[in-house]
Amino acid sequence: LPELPEVETIKEGLRPKLAGLRILGAEVLRAGAVKAPPPEDFCRGLAGNRILGVERRGKYLLFPLEDGRHLIVHLRMTGVLLWDGGDVPYVSARIALEGGHRLVFQDRRRLGALWLVGDPGEVVGGLGPEPLGPEFTLEAFRERLKKRSAPIKALLLDQHFLAGLGNMYADEALFQARVHPLKKAKTLSQAETAGLYRAIKEVLSRGIARGGASVDTYRLPDGGKGGAHLVFQVAHRRGLPCPACTTPIERIPLRGRGAYFCPKCQKITSN
């Protein structure tokens, strides 16, 4: 949290506001939030620069700047970018913009990260394909799955395998495709692979259409909430009835995190 639909929503919300604005100054309140360069160079590099636009790669936000560099933001668990945000707690960084505007990076868990780099590939170069982009084809998905014996959900969360999916939308896609989260990737049938491929695109598109999921601290740049969690079928719904068969949704541990699924609809030996 936040995942691709949340970051995409933030990108779309900020772009019309930020594109073309000059940065008057930047202030880093938590030095650890800036991964590169050192915070003083980070602030100096931003001051006077102009923001040309807002882009997204996986769960990263990229802000191309007039001098050719990129400001990059990763929200991690609890990061929020507030447009003209007032005096809020847990602020990691603040950017003052022309016109009296400001962009506030609020981050309760303090895991979010900022970069100012010449080449965005330094930060996002290792990411897998965009699930809604043209390079993520069914054939490519099938090809990449068949070599892997990891649990399918672990693979979906691996940002080098596919960029942008997290816990919530991986659980939703696996449920929609009726695939057990612990099923070994290479044992998925042709039909399961095709179903999962379609489901990934559908749950992400649905998430974007609803402005992302405000299960926890995710907020839109204006402070409002998204509505994607209101149509979740299994994610964060432990003990509630499966929408397909009414069996209570279960949560099982998976590599230090959890996977929500329906034990009846998502059998590990479905084929």
For residue 170, what is the enclosing H or E element?
helix 167-176
Give the shortest CB-178-to-Zn ion separation in angstroms: 9
Give the shortest CB-234-to-Zn ion separation in angstroms: 9
Closest listed residue to residue 171, CA positions, set 251, 235, 216: 235
Q: Which is nearer to Zn ion, 8 or 192 (CB)?
A: 192
What is the C-alpha separation between 6 and 76, in angstroms, rounded?
A: 11
> Is residue 262 within the footprint of Zn ion (CB under 5 A)?
yes
> Is residue 242 within the footprint of Zn ion (CB under 5 A)?
yes
What is the C-alpha separation between 163 and 173, in angstroms, rounded?
A: 15
Of residues 231, 244, 251, 270, which one binds Zn ion by CB under 5 A? 244
> Is residue 163 within the footprint of Zn ion (CB under 5 A)?
no
Give the shortest CB-265-to-Zn ion separation in angstroms: 3
For Zn ion, which stretch binds (CB under 5 A), given 25-33, 156-164, 210-218, 245-253? Answer: 245-253
Number of residues that bind Zn ion (CB under 5 A): 7
Residues with catalytic function: 2-3, 59, 257
Cβ atoms of 259 and 153 within 8 Å: the answer is yes
Give the shortest CB-196-to-Zn ion separation in angstroms: 17
Q: List residues bridging with 65 in a β-sheet.
A: 51
Closest listed residue to residue 61, CA positions, set 110, 18, 108: 18
Q: Which residue has the tokens 């939030």?
A: 33
Neighbours of 189 (CB within 10 A): 11
Q: Where do the H-state alpha helices sit in 19-111?
A: 39-46
For Zn ion, which stretch binds (CB under 5 A), given 171-179, 191-199, 218-226, 235-243? Answer: 235-243
> Is residue 235 within the footprint of Zn ion (CB under 5 A)?
no
Cβ atoms of 64 and 55 within 8 Å: the answer is yes
Q: Which is nearer to Zn ion, 142 or 264 (CB)?
A: 264
Question: Under the rule (CB under 5 A), what is the footprint of Zn ion?
Answer: 242, 244-245, 247, 262, 264-265
